Copies of this chain bind each other. A is one copy, B any other.
Amino acid sequence: MSSESLAELTGVNAAKVRKDLSHLGTFGTRGVGYDVRQLLHRISQILGLTKDWEVVIVGFGNLGAALSGYRGFAERGFRVAAVVDNDPGKVGRKAGPVKVTHLDELPELVATSDIKIGIIATPARAAQEVADRLVGAGVRSILNFAPAVINVPEAVWVRKVDLSTELQILSFHLQAVEDPSGRVS
């Protein structure tokens, strides 16, 4: 496949495709183009997609349940190794491929399953305590769905997912269409 085709498919300039790909090494064959399979493999490698990652979901409410059953995770190499909740009434329920465990089991789970990523799917008020527990259990990164800012040691990476932001972007476009005078640039 030529850089021209890749450019067309992605909507960018062909020279940019070539320059960007050249940073990943030499792949293309002059006069022919790129080997798609090889390209995919190299990109997967760089993005860390060749390795599977174990994750733990904390909180088995609606969001936690939705995340436990989310097909997209497995497709990208993320395995839900455990789901925990502090409500004894929820312990033992089926959460996708695993059963819900009690929050107190976190340290053992993280250690035995070699979990490095924790997902917070609790109400905002519980977020900080959960974060502390995750860090204490040895988790290295946290994906925070709770609408709350959490504090963690410097060595731990956190990403906050704000579901409103996407809506925000949509409404910004709508506004621009409805009131073209209000645009900024």
Chain A: residues with CB nearer than 8 A to chain B?
Answer: 23-24, 45-49, 51, 53, 55, 61-63, 65-67, 69-73, 75-78, 116-117, 119, 124, 140-143, 147, 157, 159, 161-164, 166-175, 177, 182, 184-185
Contacts and interface: CB of A to CB of B under 8 A. Distances in A.
Q: Which of A63, A163, A172 has the most CB of B within 10 A?
A: A163
Contact of A47 (B46, B62, B63, B172): B172
Given A62-B65, A63-B66, A72-B147, A166 B171 contact: no
Nearest to A75: B164
A157 B171 CA distance: 10
Contacts of A143: 166-167, 170
Q: How many copies does the complex hold?
A: 2
Contacts of A53: 167, 171, 174
A170 B157 contact: yes
A55 B174 CA distance: 13
Contacts of A75: 147, 164
B168 A76 contact: yes
A122 B72 CA distance: 14
A48 B175 contact: yes
A164 B78 contact: yes
Nearest to A77: B171
Contacts of A164: 70, 72-73, 75-76, 78
A136 B177 CA distance: 19
B76 A167 contact: yes
A65 B65 CA distance: 10
A119 B167 CA distance: 9
B78 A167 contact: yes
Contact of A182 (B23, B46, B124): B46
